[in-house]
Chain A
Amino acid sequence: MRKKFLFAVLGLMTAVGLNAQVKVDRGNDNGQRSTQRKSSQLAIKYGVKAGVNLSSMSNGMDFDPGFGMGIGYRAGVMANFHFGQRSINSLPGTGLFGVQPELMYSYQSVKSDEGDIKMSYIQLPIMLKVYPTSALSIEVGPEFNYLISTSPDTMVFDDATISVGNCKGFNIGAGAGLAYELRMGLVVGARYSLGFTDMAKNLKWKNNGNIQVTVGWLF
């Protein structure tokens, strides 16, 4: 089931990529960068990004693990699809909307009374972007995550002993944030993501307070 879903998402990205074969600037660089214009209104850029995670969890169990925010990091690749033209004279890919799929490795750490809980994810956020200006974008979208590993293996709280290391698997969240894309290609962004899925079927912990601050580069 999980594999099927990931293939479907990747398939969607490939299909979008196949239809968009031009690479354009953002329409705000006065032609200083090379552009190639064709009849399409879509501009595609690929890039990399990295940053820090400030993560916390919500607790739905009967006992209090004393969760607090921990620091982690994230890095990955992204593709930026920017649709439309801001005006009739603007270049393609300068419109109001865009989509930005990302493929990230995310290392998140959450503090608890008995030490840090460390989680490694492969994440696939698909951000819908609204561009109030040609550089600033508001982004919101789902995050499809796969929890690769969790450590430590076992955590002993006052009320319960939990095999945290067995928490693995697919989960879903959503993110919202802001990004600013400089003409040179530098992208800075901040995003807050919310996890919808419990850590395990019988462990009512949601990794749902993740602040991401990233820096990237769109080529």
Chain B
Amino acid sequence: MIVRNMRKYLLALLGAFTLLVSFSSCTDQKEIDIIYNQEATLEVNLLNMYETCGIDFSKFQTQFVSGYRPTILTLVYDTEGTYQYSIKSILYNFNNPSIPLKDLDRKEYIVIVVQYLMEYDNESQSVNDFWSLYNVKDFDKVSILSKEYQIPWYCCLGIDVQKIDLKSGNNFKSTPKLAGSFVSLDYENLYNGGYNRVALYFKNKVTGLYLNPNREGLAKYFYDNYNDSNTWTAVAELERPELLYIKGDDNFFILESGRINCCIGLSTKDDGTFFTAYPSTDSYFDFELGKNYTAYCEYNGETDKVTTYLGTSIDFEKWYEKFDKWIPNTFDDPFTKWGASVEEVKKYMTNKKYTTWYDLTPIQSIDGDTYYYLGYYGRFVEDDIQYVFENMTGNLLTAFEIIYNNDMSVNQIIDHFDKDPTYQRYEPFEETFYEYGCYFFYDEFTQVEIYPDFEDDYGLYTQIVYSRSTVVEEETRGRKQIKSNLSFVNKRANSNIMTTIKDKR
């Protein structure tokens, strides 16, 4: 009897224990605030994404000094994808920063690090962010979008996604990698083809990236206009109001990778938003992340043909060595009928298909006299041709041309005048001209002064100053006294025009 009861009670006890254990997980407890005092840190390698792509960091430092700040966005999610917080760090140098990760439990997290440069105005302390985060709280849809259609190379984006386990340590390292590639858009002689815009066009332009590392292929891109058959977007573009220069180049950053429907497009001013595609709108190219590409375009004035090239920059250099490009290798003479009216000069330049850089503009010289300037874009190696008038209706005093050394050296310019039977070379130079390194030519009507080694942001350039000849006039009086226009050049150098010249390329 007792044994039977014992069994019964033991069974009841076992049942009760089972019930108890099953209940032990059924509690109404909630999470409480636990703040870990010992924060974790994430050290970010700022240089990796640039150095791996061969970017000259000294060039980068120049950009930095002129108003850019390295910026780090750190997004923290748990392993379920639940958003924890984000940190935006605007840095003051390129030393690897340690981003503090606070208030995290001892468990695994997913950390997304986004790196780029932010424009920063030192004076006003205002910022211009090239990138914007969207859907930060949704791990699947969190994305970063560019605010610009053409992304300057220095606004390139680096991304690193990693899991960190706070059970195994507090100090973590992040090395963002380039999230796209670079394209250098180069052109030559497009001025002479009448073009005012050249661009690398992509079909289905990517405007942003999803940051979720589980997204692959096309799913990682954010498109504005996917499958819109009429839409082509310039990812790299060089444009001028009237005509492009003889040559030009700029570097851009693109997010896209993979096989892309793309082409190089050329437009004249009359084309508006339309362009002529090279090789065609059906051409494709494979872009790889972290590489440097060159999109090149050349117009041959002799054959009236356009040649384009799209490939890695390394391949381009090999191709370009063998490329027989058209070299105008000359510069035009300005209008030199001294004392002419403004209308006469304009008529002459229009007939020769020059386009206006700036219309008649009064400039006050340092001695208080007011002169009137008229500017035109160059057509060959000359960067521009400018005229100076005594008054707003005319009396042409001087014309001058700017030629960058890259386009034509000083010796080539001197050769040009030496071979021109119109001009005589004046030798020996007077000390005044030696002092300024000036070379002098003259004829009955015009004297030419060549001043080398001026410098601006785009390199060394030469000024050729044309003015009324004083040599013959003085010779007739029995003494050779050359009156230089150098003082005039100096006046010009102190004018606002000089600033405009520096900014115009």
Residues of A participating in the B interface, judged by any CB pair closer than 8 Å: 1-2, 5, 61-62, 84, 96-97, 128, 130, 140-142, 156-164, 166-167, 169-172, 174, 196-203
Q: How far is the CB of A204 from chain B (nearest CB, A)?
A: 10
CB pair A197 B24 closer than 8 Å: yes
The segment out of B27-35, B43-51, B232-240, B312-320 that lies at the interface is B27-35
If A141-B16, A159-B38 touch, does A200 touch B32 (CB 8 Å cutoff)?
Answer: yes
Look across to chain A and name the residue whose beta carbon is closest to the beta carbon of B36.
A160
Q: How far is the CB of A97 from chain B (nearest CB, A)?
A: 6
If A97-B9, A196-B21, A202-B32 touch, does A172 touch B27 (CB 8 Å cutoff)?
Answer: yes
Q: Could you show 8 A-B contacts with beta carbons less than 8 Å apart?
A: A2-B28, A97-B5, A161-B35, A164-B32, A169-B28, A172-B24, A172-B27, A174-B20
Query: Which secondary structure dominates where chain B touches chain A?
Result: mixed
Residue B23 interfacial (CB < 8 Å): yes
Question: Which 5 A-B residue pairs are closest in the complex by CB-CB distance?
Answer: A196-B24, A163-B33, A166-B32, A200-B32, A62-B106
CB pair B29 A161 closer than 8 Å: no
Question: How far, in whole Å, are A201 and B13 apart by their CA atoms in the complex?
Answer: 29
Residue B286 interfacial (CB < 8 Å): no
Residue B37 interfacial (CB < 8 Å): yes
Residue B224 interfacial (CB < 8 Å): no
Question: How far, in whole Å, are A162 and B32 apart by their CA atoms in the complex?
Answer: 8
Per-residue CB contact flags for chain B residues 95-135 toward chain A (1 = under 8 Å, else 0) read 00000000001100000000000000000000000000000
CB pair A172 B23 closer than 8 Å: yes
Task: Select A128's contact among B13, B29, B32, beta carbons within 8 Å.
Answer: B13
Residue tally, chain B, CB below 8 Å to A = 29
Chain A neighbourhood of B105, CB < 8 A: 202
Question: How far, in whole Å, are A67 and B30 apart by their CA atoms in the complex?
Answer: 22
Look across to chain A and name the residue whose beta carbon is closest to the beta carbon of B33.
A163
Q: How far is the CB of A213 from chain B (nearest CB, A)?
A: 24
CB pair B35 A201 closer than 8 Å: no
Q: How far is the CB of A158 from chain B (nearest CB, A)?
A: 7
Besides the known contacts A159-B36, A162-B35, 11 further A-B residue pairs in the complex with CB atoms under 8 A apart: A62-B106, A128-B12, A142-B17, A158-B37, A160-B34, A171-B27, A174-B20, A196-B20, A196-B21, A202-B31, A202-B32
Question: How far, in whole Å, are A5 and B37 apart by their CA atoms in the complex?
Answer: 39
Look across to chain A and name the residue whose beta carbon is closest to the beta carbon of B105.
A202
Chain A neighbourhood of B16, CB < 8 A: 128, 141-142
Chain B neighbourhood of A160, CB < 8 A: 34-37
Interface residues of B in 365-389 (CB under 8 A from A): none
CB pair B37 A159 closer than 8 Å: yes
Task: Select B29's contact among A130, A156, A196, A200, beta carbons within 8 Å.
Answer: A200
CB pair A162 B33 closer than 8 Å: yes
Look across to chain B and name the residue whose beta carbon is closest to the beta carbon of A161.
B35
Chain B neighbourhood of A170, CB < 8 A: 27-29
Look across to chain A and name the residue whose beta carbon is closest to the beta carbon of B35.
A161
**Which of A5, A140, A196 counts the most B-chain CB atoms under 10 A from its CB?**
A196
Question: How far, in whole Å, are A84 and B6 apart by their CA atoms in the complex?
Answer: 12
Task: Select B30's contact among A128, A162, A169, A174, beta carbons within 8 Å.
Answer: A169
